[in-house]
């Protein structure tokens, strides 16, 4: 029989199996904590302020919009991956992603923190939502100037 051992490092939960299976519910708790971190939120707002002026409210999208969106996604991914690695000993995104896919496919991601995190990540990954967010940020900045 396969044994499962829970190790603690601070507030961390990690299932140690031969395949290094993660406690997905705990992983989503960590991600939710990361996403709600005021420093993370301010980092995203700073990025928006620095880049929102590039966006224009027109149907055609400039190539630079895609570049900026990719930078935004990379910032989010790096932040979350860094936090996961700090909290979960031996964390590897390469190991986590296939398990995440299995977790989502099983339907287990339809509740709690998992559902909230996945919805938020999907909204950030959606280019049109990103463009709308940047346009709104630009409006707020220009309204404050006037």
Average pLDDT over residues 107-128: 91
List phi, psi (to 5°) of 79.
-65, -50
Query: Could you report the per-residue pLDDT of 78-117, keeping only the tens digit for each?
Result: 999 999 999 988 888 888 888 888 888 888 888 888 999 9
pLDDT of residue 90: 85
Phi-psi region of 90 (alpha: psi -120 to 50; beta: other; left: phi over 0): left
pLDDT of residue 20: 39
Using alpha carbons, list the distances in angstroms from residue 92 to 13, 18, 95, 107: 15, 14, 5, 23
Contact 75, 69 (CB under 8 A): no
* Cα separation, 113 vs 28, whole angstroms: 6
pLDDT of residue 134: 95
Which residues make beta-bridge pairs with 15? 6
Q: Which residue has 């601070």 as its token pair?
A: 10
SS3 84: helix
Structure tokens that stand for 12 in this block: 């961390």
Query: Where do the H-state alpha helices sit in 37-126?
Result: 38-51, 63-87, 93-105, 112-125
């Amino acid at each position: 029989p396969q044994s499962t051992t829970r190790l603690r490092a601070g507030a961390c939960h990690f299932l140690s199996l031969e395949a290094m299976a993660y406690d997905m519910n705990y992983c989503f708790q960590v991600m939710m904590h990361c996403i709600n971190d005021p420093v993370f939120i301010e980092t995203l707002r700073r990025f928006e302020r620095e880049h929102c002026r590039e966006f224009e409210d027109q149907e055609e999208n400039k190539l630079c919009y895609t570049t900026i969106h990719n930078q935004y996604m990379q910032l989010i991914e790096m932040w979350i991956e860094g936090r996961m690695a700090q909290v979960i000993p031996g964390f590897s995104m390469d190991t986590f992603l296939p398990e995440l896919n299995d977790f989502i496919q099983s339907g287990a991601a339809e509740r709690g923190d998992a559902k909230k995190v996945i919805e938020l990540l999907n909204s950030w990954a959606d280019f049109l939502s990103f463009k709308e967010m940047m346009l709104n940020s630009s409006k707020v900045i220009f309204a404050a100037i006037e």
